Structure 1
Amino acid sequence: MMIRTRFAPSPTGFLHIGGARTALFSWAYARHHQGVFILRIEDTDVARSTPEAVQAILDGMNWLGLNYDEGPFYQMQRMDRYKQVIAQLLEEGKAYRCYSSREALDAMREKQMAAGLKPRYDGTWRPEPGKTLPPVPGGVEPVIRFKNPLDGIVAWDDQVKGRIAIANNELDDLIIARADGTPTYNFCVVVDDWDMQITHVIRGDDHVNNTPRQINILKALNAQVPQYAHLSMILGDDGQKLSKRHGAVSVMQYDEDGYLPEAVLNYLARLGWSHGDDEIFSMEQFCTWFDLDHITPSAAQFNTEKLNWLNAHYLKLADNSRLATEVTKRLAARGIATAGGPDLAGVLGLYKERAANLNELADAVEYFYRQIHPADDLLGKHLTPDVMPVLKALTEKLAAGEWTQAVLHDAIQEAVTANGLKFPKVAMPLRVMVAGIAQTPSVDAVLALLGRDETLRRLNGYLGV
């Protein structure tokens, strides 16, 4: 049997981290089994669905590299198919028209709640042998309800949560089409999963309550019932349910915040799933290992500190030219051009082990490509009268020599030794004059990358030459 999974977000907002994990697990399961991964956009909520949200989903999937084999399919483009299946259910007596008004339904539920009963549709318009239905009211467009079994249980072996069984008498007759004829979410999902031959539905556990209804409809259609795996929720750093307040931001916000997609994916893979003690692994390795047996049924807690640690790890491994592309975009957004300056890839090679994200990298290397303005107190602290003659002599020597890191290092060391100074006494003011800050990587490496002309221009600007 060909494994077929799907990710089916509703475009009513951005693709958040919980949805991204669901997409990742569905994608990885298909890849593990050489199956098919499908993207389906469930856009039947016309009032809340937006083109911008659709694009945000596509952008997030693309950034993460979760490539889909089929789709994206849009439910709004499948309306004729849903109506065809509804007509089939009506013809087979597995669905019926309900003319109960909103007021009648509200009164029904209030009466049930007052009696301590679970509010549910009472089956007024449900046809049964020997039952006389009320007269059809004039001018009322009916909803279509699915004729749910009245007895027995609906059960499934959830691949994460284990055996789940629900008594059918706990479920009322679900509305599968509204009065205006538009099909409802739970019905569209069933038809889509049937038509797309989905074998495994991997989704959040907020859908557990939908599952028995969907299984009953699938059985009424004589359709194959897929395996279900319901993923537990993700908690924020503070232990609260993940929300906008507690870290449920758009996947693309992680891009804006300077994370690499492979770090986000690696972190998400470990958010509720494990392979022994392995913490760092490629997506190729993840797909080889991934199964549903090792997904924990308990809630997973997001840990920003761990994500940052993973991101720093992947930054160190990243190709410098790739980092240069990302940092160039970030510097350009600040109005800083890298053209004409030092080779950015080389500069990033000096700094990438010191940064936790791409934005920190951009912050760190800015001074190579813009005018610097050291604080007055920093200048006063390091450009002291006793060291100024040493710095002038050193600058003259640097100007006359070969411009390599080794030569620069030797020249600085000679100036330190000849004047009986400690190395920071010379290195710190050099950093302040060329970088505007007192802390940088090896000062000779900084000068070598900055280049002869720009280094001398900056030094001489403070030395009065």
Structure 2
Amino acid sequence: MSQKVRVRFAPSPTGPLHIGGLRTALFNYLFAKKNGGDFILRIEDTDQNRFVDGAEQYIIEALNWCGISFDEGPDKEGAVGSYRQSERKDLYKNYALELIEKGKAYYAFDTAETLDYHRKDHESKGKTFIYNWHNRLKLTNSLSLSKKQVADKLNAGEPYVIRFKSPENEEIHLNDIIRGQISIDSSTLDDKVLFKSDGMPTYHLANIVDDHLMKITHVIRGEEWLPSLALHNLLYNAFGWDTPEFAHLPLIMKPVGKGKLSKRDGEKGGFPVFPLTWNQSEGYREAGFFPEAVVNFLALLGWNPGTEQEIFSLEELVNTFSLERVNKSGARFDPEKNNWYNQQWLQKKSNDDLAALFASDLEKRNISSTKEYTTQVVSLIKERATFAKDFWELGDYFFQAPQSYNEKAVKKQWKEGTPKIMAAIVEVLQNITDFDSPIIEEAVKGWIAEQELSFGKVMPPLRLVLVGDMKGPHIFDIMHLIGKKESVNRIETAIAQL
């Protein structure tokens, strides 16, 4: 029987979750669910100096908001917890010592000053200092010292790190689901530190040990980890463990210019780069995006379904997703297109749901309205909206008479004979008993035909006096909703004012 698919998203709690990290989580989730597997959240907090209070909670809240819920993780313990690396720190040293016993790693006692000296010395000669096979026997470590010297140093409590012993002159063949075959000459690799002098593992060791203990079958992570792939493969082999399959996702690129998307791009372009607000940076949730829209646009950043379809629910994404259709090259971030996705999702929402969002906005403005009325308004204005926060601007005149009139429109529409025409329209409206949109339309258009007037002389100024501008849905729908009395009032007010 083949092994159950298990993937993990392993962020560091060093700040808010970037939209790129959220996409990594999403692709892991989609792959797991498509293959009937488990999606695990692991918090990689071994670097306590960079730990930021509240960041872990932020990550969990962001995943939950998007509907990307994890099967195992902090406070959702499975059989392989804990899911915070800081709570697993006693595990790692034994694995580092196991590699020393196997001759795959060694103690290094070099001081920071010594390493700094070598680094500067190399720089002055135009070279780069790499700690590996070509110089490790000249440095202070358990490969260059006698067993007794090493034992003395350890007994004296001298600080040390444990380094991986990367092989010399070995062609390493790696496979990546997205990028295919990759070959690396092991001579170019440095002997990475696996265990630090503060008693904490580095990312490389903790990551491999946890992935092994958590039975991770596929490691799906950002392209920035591609340079670590050779070392991670070597570590699996050194322990004699099965290597998971790897897939490195393309970067999310700036909307314009070169380089990957940063917080600064968002600040400059006026769009979010975080799922939720963090400090002064607005998140997608607070900017008024629907989680479905965020998931939808993120999925199509670097992945394509091979069809023309653009709108996907999370369920549809699960059914369609495959790592083979993820692109190798970076995906350009398009804030305008993201807004378009939100508009599409807004149109899919029920009028009731949208009315509830609008109602809370009206409440903040101290405007009282019935649920039924708000729902009717939303049904008329929603197709012009991108966000629920647009409703007020699109439909304020449903709740209050115009305070002023668009000057440009007044100049164009309010002619010498207009007040007389508007007064006659008031007469027409007063005679309608059933004030319903089709009936109002029939009466007004009938009167215009009788008077042998052009529609251009009547309809635009009528819209102007009711709305205060040349915007809005079907004019007779507006009149029906605000009612006969309010319609007449607005026309009479405008005649007096204009």
Report TM bin, short chain: 0.7 to 0.9
CA distance in 1, matches of 2:335, 2:119: 45
Correspondences of 1:98-113 after superposition (within 5 Å)? 98-113=108-123
- Cα distance, 1:432 vs. partner? 2.8
Residues 64-120 of structure 1: CA distance to partner in whole angstroms, max 9, x if unpaired?
222222214332232233345345445655444322111101112223344554422
Match of residue 244, structure 1, among 263, 268, 279: 263
Give the stretch that moved more between structures: 200-209 or 425-434: 425-434
Residue type matched to 1:392 in 2? A
CA distance in 1, matches of 2:372, 2:488: 14
1:223 pairs with 2:241:
yes
- Cα distance, 1:336 vs. partner? 5.1
Residue type matched to 2:200 in 1? T
Residues 167-191 of structure 1: CA distance to partner in whole angstroms, max 9, x if unpaired?
3332222222322212222222222
Residue 462 to residue 96, structure 1, CA distance change in 2 (3 Å): same
In the other structure, the counterpart of 1:179 is: 197
CA distance in 1, matches of 2:371, 2:362: 13
Residue 315 to residue 340, structure 1, CA distance change in 2 (3 Å): closer
1:13 pairs with 2:15:
yes
In the other structure, the counterpart of 1:395 is: 426
1:5 alignment partner, SS class: strand
Residue type matched to 1:156 in 2? L
Correspondences of 1:323-342 after superposition (within 5 Å)? 323-331=354-362, 335=365, 337=367, 339-340=369-370
Percent identity of the aligned residues? Answer: 34
Q: Please, what TM-score do these two structures have when normalized by structure 2?
A: 0.82
Match of residue 29, structure 1, among 24, 28, 31: 31
Residue type matched to 1:218 in 2? Y
In the other structure, the counterpart of 1:346 is: 376
Residue 128 to residue 43, structure 1, CA distance change in 2 (3 Å): closer
Match of residue 204, structure 1, among 210, 222, 229: 222
1:326 alignment partner, SS class: helix
- Cα distance, 1:28 vs. partner? 1.1
In the other structure, the counterpart of 1:423 is: 455
1:324 alignment partner, SS class: helix
In the other structure, the counterpart of 2:482 is: 450
Match of residue 166, structure 2, among 143, 148, 151: 148
In the other structure, the counterpart of 1:167 is: 185
Unaligned runs of 5+ in 1: none
Residues 188-247 of structure 1: CA distance to partner in whole angstroms, max 9, x if unpaired?
222221122111111111111122222222333333211111112122221422222334
CA distance in 2, matches of 1:12, 1:412: 65
Residue type matched to 1:127 in 2? S
CA distance in 2, matches of 1:55, 1:408: 56
Q: Please, what TM-score do these two structures have when normalized by structure 1?
A: 0.88
1:290 pairs with 2:321:
yes
Q: Is the 8 A contact 1:151 1:168 kept in 2?
A: yes
- Cα distance, 1:149 vs. partner? 3.6
CA distance in 1, matches of 2:162, 2:372: 69
Q: Is the 8 A contact 1:409 1:444 kept in 2?
A: yes
Residue type matched to 2:61 in 1? D
Residue 87 to residue 332, structure 1, CA distance change in 2 (3 Å): farther
Residues 29-79 of structure 1: CA distance to partner in whole angstroms, max 9, x if unpaired?
111111111122223333333234334323332232222222143322322
Q: Is the 8 A contact 2:405 2:464 kept in 1?
A: no
Residue type matched to 1:97 in 2? Y
Q: Is the 8 A contact 2:252 2:333 kept in 1?
A: yes
- Cα distance, 1:436 vs. partner? 2.3
2:459 alignment partner, SS class: helix
Q: Is the 8 A contact 2:92 2:206 kept in 1?
A: yes
In the other structure, the counterpart of 2:91 is: 81
In the other structure, the counterpart of 1:360 is: 390
CA distance in 2, matches of 1:422, 1:397: 17
CA distance in 1, matches of 2:459, 2:49: 63
1:310 alignment partner, SS class: helix
CA distance in 1, matches of 2:424, 2:239: 89
- Cα distance, 1:405 vs. partner? 1.4
In the other structure, the counterpart of 2:280 is: none
Residues 104-142 of structure 1: CA distance to partner in whole angstroms, max 9, x if unpaired?
011122233445544222433443498565763967432
Q: Is the 8 A contact 1:401 1:407 kept in 2?
A: no
In the other structure, the counterpart of 2:308 is: 278
Residue 198 to residue 118, structure 1, CA distance change in 2 (3 Å): same
Residue 236 to residue 386, structure 1, CA distance change in 2 (3 Å): same
Residue 129 to residue 177, structure 1, CA distance change in 2 (3 Å): closer
Q: Is the 8 A contact 2:166 2:190 kept in 1?
A: yes
2:70 alignment partner, SS class: coil
C-alpha RMSD of matched pairs (Å): 3.1
1:70 alignment partner, SS class: coil
Match of residue 136, structure 1, among 146, 153, 163: 153
- Cα distance, 1:150 vs. partner? 4.2
CA distance in 2, matches of 1:342, 1:432: 26
Unaligned runs of 5+ in 2: 75-82, 267-271, 277-282
Match of residue 269, structure 1, among 277, 294, 299: 299
- Cα distance, 1:151 vs. partner? 4.9
2:73 alignment partner, SS class: strand
Residues 333-363 of structure 1: CA distance to partner in whole angstroms, max 9, x if unpaired?
6x35453476223222212222333333442
Residue 118 to residue 21, structure 1, CA distance change in 2 (3 Å): same
Residues 227-285 of structure 1: CA distance to partner in whole angstroms, max 9, x if unpaired?
11111212222142222233471133333344333333333222222222323242323
CA distance in 2, matches of 1:449, 1:82: 69
CA distance in 2, matches of 1:416, 1:239: 57
Give the length in aligned residue pairs: 464
Q: Is the 8 A contact 2:107 2:161 kept in 1?
A: yes
Residue type matched to 1:106 in 2? D
- Cα distance, 1:3 vs. partner? 0.9
1:322 pairs with 2:353:
yes
Residue type matched to 2:227 in 1? N
Q: Is the 8 A contact 2:107 2:142 kept in 1?
A: no
1:228 alignment partner, SS class: strand
Match of residue 405, structure 1, among 437, 444, 452: 437
